Amino acid sequence: MKKREWDLLKAWLVEHDAIDEDIVCAEAITRLDLSSRGIEELPENFGLLNKLVALNLSTNRLSFLPDSLSELSNLNNLDIRRNRFEILPDVIAKLSIRSLNASGNKIKDVSILKNAKELRVLDLSSNAIGSLKRFLPISNELRTLNLSCNLIKEIDGFVEYLRSVERLNLSSNVIETIPSGVSALESIVELDLSSNKIRTIDSAFFDLEMETLDLSSNNLKTLNLFSLESLEELNLDENGFESLTIEDYFAPYLGIKIK
């Protein structure tokens, strides 16, 4: 039975120009590129590829993934960007992936990530995400998170799950306020908040240890800059300030001019 299943899966993979015909067994495949193939669904026996480490399914027409993907116990990297997903497939919660790219879909619901304890790199940019409360486990390994180009208005309720995040992109959303809860970003190095609607920033923000900060293209009219002692790069373009004050002890390592 297993040989029959492999023969069927192999034929499908060869048809989609993903493997050579001389591949003799599923276990020989550790990396697979199925991007830009016009695929609408994967075979249910896809789980036979249980030695896969990296799987690229980008730029197809997928809207769901088969349950058999849960058998891909070695999978570290999954790329499903530019497909037709509206929710993250449940099977992702059963994988131990370290990197997930789900950008460029129509995703609104990412609740299954509350079980994704091993993710280190997550790209959810260019989707339709509005709320992210409790979207990750409290204990997680996330280091890089891209949430740009979504519909996020409030960051309270999910930044507390980002204590280990070093690079965070929240650009091109509809955020209006940076609340005191931002102090949870204990490991932040790079933060992009450009192209939002930010009007107010809580003082706790200026105690962060980030090195790069982009606040350009917001609605900031009044701002008092202080602390941010590790800051090396800052962009404040396109805000239309009426009042901008800078304390003497602000960002001693800042390497560029503030505009």
Burial of 38 (0-12, 13-18, 19+ CB in 10 A): exposed
Which CATH superfamily is 29-246 part of? Ribonuclease Inhibitor (3.80.10.10)
Predicted confidence band of residue 105 (pLDDT cuts 50, 70, 90): very high
Type and span of the H or E element at 233:
strand 233-235
Residue with tokens 């026996």: 45
Backbone phi and psi for residue 157, each to the nearest 5 degrees, phi listed first: 100, -15
195 pLDDT higher than 60: yes
What would the pLDDT profile of 213-224 be if each residue is shown by its tens digit?
999 999 999 999
The domain spans of the chain are 29-246
Looking at residue 183, what is its pLDDT? 95
Percent of the chain residues past pLDDT 70, beyond the cut? 98
Mean pLDDT of 161-169: 96
Strand order across the beta sheet in which 31-33 lies: 31-33, 54-56, 77-79, 99-101, 121-123, 144-146, 167-169, 190-192, 212-214, 233-235
Task: Locate 216 and state its tokens.
Answer: 């350009």
Predicted confidence band of residue 256 (pLDDT cuts 50, 70, 90): low
- Candidates 243, 231, 171, 167; CA nearest to 205 is 231
Predicted confidence band of residue 258 (pLDDT cuts 50, 70, 90): low
- The listed range with the strongest mean pLDDT (149-158, 162-171, 240-249) is 162-171
Q: What average pLDDT does the structure give for the chain?
A: 94
- Radius of gyration, CA atoms only, the chain: 22
What would the pLDDT profile of 32-74 be if each residue is shown by its tens digit?
999 999 999 999 999 999 999 999 999 999 999 999 999 999 9
Mean pLDDT of 193-211: 96
Mean pLDDT of 90-119: 94
